[in-house]
C-alpha cells in the first residue's frame, strides 16, 4: 500500500482522533509487527509537538507469561501500567494481530484473572474514561486470511474504510443520536430475532473516528431490566481464543436466561457466568460505516457494518450508563441487510430502518450512496 495512505491515516489518528496538542503525552501501544504505521505515528506525534511513549507487545510471549502468572504478578503489573496510564493524555492501540487463537489453550481462570486484575482497571478504569484514545488493527496477512481476501485486496479495503471522511459521517450521525435520545421503546425483528427494550433517558453517543478506526456507530444502552425476547446473531465472533457461531440469546427482565452457540454452548455459558453483569446488556449500537459491508472476522470492522446493530453482553460505558458492571464487554453483531436475511428496527412503533437502509428523511444522509470513496 502506498506511503501516502499510511501518512494520511497517521495524520487522521494524531490530529483528528486524538486531537493531540503540543506538550501532551501519548502512549502508542503496538501489539505485533506494524513498523511502518507505528513509526509514522511516532514521527507525526513529534511533529504535533507532543511527547510519544511506546509499549510493544508480543502475543506468543504473553501467552507463555499468562500460562504461569499469579494474582501477585498481575496485581504488580497492573500497578505499573496504571501509574503510566494515569500520566497519559492520549492512547493509540495498534494491533497487528498474528494468530487470533493464540490464547485458546490458556486456562479460563487465567484469562479471567487477567481481565479482572489488569485489563479492566487499566483500560476500563483509567484509559477509557480519562484519555483521548483510539484503537485500530493493522492490515497484515493474518487479517486478510481471516477475511478470506488477498493481502492486497484487504489492504485496499482497509485504507478505504479507515480514511473515510469522518467529519461528514459525524454530521450525518447527529440526527440519529438526537432521535435515539428522544426514543423510549425499541423493537427489532429479523430471522430468529424478536427483541423489545427501552433506551429512555440514556444518552446516545456518536462514534465518528475518535475512539476506533475504522469507526461508524451510534451507541446507547438499554434500561438494564427492560430487555425481552430473543436474538440470533448472524456474524461469528472470536472471544478468549474461541470462535463462536450461531449465538442465540433469550432474555427475561433484562437477563440472559438461555444462551446457545451450537457445539460451543457450554463454553459460551462459562463466559456469561464470569459475573452477574455478564448476563445483562451494556450496549446497543447501530453500525454505520458506509464502506464496511461484509464481515471480515474482526470486531472493530464487523461492528461497523452499515445496516447492522450490536447488542453487547457485559459492562456499559460511563457516558451511556445503565448501571451494568462486568469484567465482560462482548460486542456481538447482527446484520439486517437484505443479503443477510433482512430485518427491521422500530423506534416507538415507527420503522426507522428496513433491511439495513434508513427510511426516515432525516436519517437518509447515513445511507451509503451519500459517501464518496477516496482515490
Helix or strand run (H / E) with residue 212: strand 212-213
**102 pLDDT band (50/70/90 cuts)?**
confident
**Residue range(s) of every CATH 3.40.1830.10 domain in the chain:** 3-162
Q: Enter the pTM of the model.
A: 0.81
pLDDT digits (tens, 9 = 90+) for 212-259: 899 999 999 999 999 999 999 999 998 887 899 999 999 999 999 999
pLDDT digits (tens, 9 = 90+) for 37-77: 999 999 999 999 999 999 999 999 999 999 999 999 999 99
Looking at domain 3-162, does it have CATH number 3.40.800.20?
no
pLDDT digits (tens, 9 = 90+) for 113-129: 999 999 989 998 999 88
Q: Which of 270, 275, 243, 248 is nearest to 259 (CA)?
A: 248
Cell numbers for 257: 436466561
C-alpha–C-alpha distance, residues 91 and 367, integer Å: 31
Q: Helix, strand, or coil here: 197?
A: strand
Burial class (CB in 10 A: 0-12, 13-18, 19+), 152: exposed
C-alpha–C-alpha distance, residues 316 and 328, integer Å: 10
- What are residue 209's phi and psi, to 5 degrees? 95, 5
- What are residue 162's phi and psi, to 5 degrees? -75, -30
Strands 228-232 and 248-252: antiparallel
Amino acid at each position: 500500500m502506498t506511503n501516502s495512505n499510511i501518512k494520511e491515516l497517521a495524520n487522521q489518528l494524531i490530529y483528528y482522533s486524538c486531537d493531540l496538542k503540543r506538550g501532551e503525552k501519548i502512549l502508542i501501544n503496538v501489539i505485533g509487527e506494524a513498523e511502518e504505521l507505528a513509526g509514522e505515528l511516532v514521527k507525526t506525534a513529534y511533529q504535533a509537538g507532543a511527547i510519544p511513549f511506546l509499549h510493544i507487545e508480543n502475543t506468543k510471549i504473553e501467552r507463555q507469561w499468562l500460562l504461569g502468572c499469579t494474582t501477585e504478578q498481575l496485581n504488580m503489573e497492573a500497578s505499573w501500567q496504571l501509574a503510566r496510564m494515569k500520566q497519559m493524555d492520549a492512547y493509540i492501540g495498534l494491533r497487528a494481530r498474528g494468530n487470533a487463537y493464540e490464547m485458546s489453550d490458556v486456562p479460563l481462570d487465567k484469562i479471567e484473572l487477567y481481565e479482572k486484575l489488569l485489563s479492566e482497571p487499566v483500560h476500563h478504569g483509567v484509559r477509557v474514561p480519562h484519555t483521548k484514545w483510539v484503537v485500530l488493527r493493522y492490515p497484515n496477512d493474518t487479517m486478510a486470511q481471516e477475511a478470506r481476501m488477498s493481502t492486497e485486496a484487504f489492504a485496499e479495503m482497509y485504507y478505504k474504510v479507515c480514511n473515510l471522511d469522518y467529519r461528514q459521517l459525524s454530521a450525518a450521525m447527529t440526527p440519529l443520536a438526537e432521535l435515539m435520545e428522544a426514543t423510549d421503546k425499541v423493537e427489532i425483528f429479523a430471522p430468529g430475532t424478536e427483541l423489545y427494550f427501552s433506551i429512555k433517558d440514556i444518552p446516545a453517543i456518536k462514534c465518528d473516528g475518535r475512539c476506533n478506526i475504522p469507526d461508524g456507530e451510534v451507541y446507547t444502552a438499554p434500561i438494564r431490566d427492560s430487555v425481552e425476547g430473543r436474538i440470533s446473531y448472524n456474524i461469528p465472533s472470536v472471544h478468549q481464543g474461541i470462535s463462536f457461531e450461531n449465538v442465540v440469546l433469550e432474555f427475561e427482565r433484562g437477563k440472559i436466561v438461555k444462551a446457545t452457540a451450537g457445539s460451543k454452548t457450554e463454553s459460551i455459558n462459562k463466559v456469561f457466568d464470569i459475573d452477574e453483569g455478564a448476563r445483562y446488556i451494556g450496549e446497543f449500537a447501530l453500525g454505520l460505516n458506509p464502506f464496511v459491508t461484509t464481515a471480515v472476522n474482526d470486531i472493530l470492522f464487523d461492528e461497523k457494518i452499515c445496516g447492522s446493530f450490536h447488542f453487547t453482553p457485559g459492562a456499559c460505558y460511563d457516558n451511556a450508563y445503565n448501571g451494568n458492571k462486568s469484567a465482560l464487554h462482548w460486542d456481538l453483531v447482527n446484520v439486517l441487510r437484505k443479503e443477510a436475511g433482512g430485518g427491521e428496527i422500530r423506534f416507538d412503533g415507527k420503522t426507522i430502518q428496513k433491511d439495513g437502509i434508513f427510511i426516515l428523511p432525516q436519517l437518509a444522509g447515513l445511507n451509503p450512496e451519500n459517501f464518496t470513496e477516496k482515490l
